Amino acid sequence: DAGITQSPRHKVTETGTPVTLRCHQTENHRYMYWYRQDPGHGLRLIHYSYGVKDTDKGEVSDGYSVSRSKTEDFLLTLESATSSQTSVYFCAISGTKAGGYNEQFFGPGTRLTVL
């Protein structure tokens, strides 16, 4: 596996509480992504980062914020968790290759349950 870890791996929380998920990479890749995966929807991009302090919104960013203060860490924060944010969250990284076409390497995922 590419050097990507996610923490925590499992979390149960209550509606209205803030939650922060961490993605850590040891590959020194420039690009990092947060996805959520729900049955029938596939992976949907929440936020992504193209460098330290450079982030942007993806397809389903409402209710989420991110930060990247170091190349190796990308944090996803649920500002006030809701039951609709119960999901499996995946972090991915991507490097730079000739032609700019990059495969993504995924972390093991975090299963989040919001009660």
Q: What are phi and psi of 81, to 5 degrees?
A: -60, 140
- Binding of another protein at residue 27 (CB under 8 A)? no
Q: What are phi and psi of 90, to 5 degrees?
A: -120, 135
- Binding of another protein at residue 103 (CB under 8 A)? yes
Residue of the chain from 11, 61, 106, 113 that contacts another protein (CB under 8 A): 106
Beta strands 10-13 and 110-114 are parallel
Task: Give dist(CA 84, CA 67) in Å, integer.
Answer: 22
Subset of residues 47 to 66 that bind another protein, contact rule: CB under 8 A: 48, 50, 56, 58-59
- Binding of another protein at residue 34 (CB under 8 A)? no
- Binding of another protein at residue 42 (CB under 8 A)? yes
Helix (H) or strand (E) holding 51, with range, is strand 42-51
Rule CB under 8 A: which residues touch another protein? 31, 33, 35, 40-45, 48, 50, 56, 58-59, 90, 92, 94, 100-109
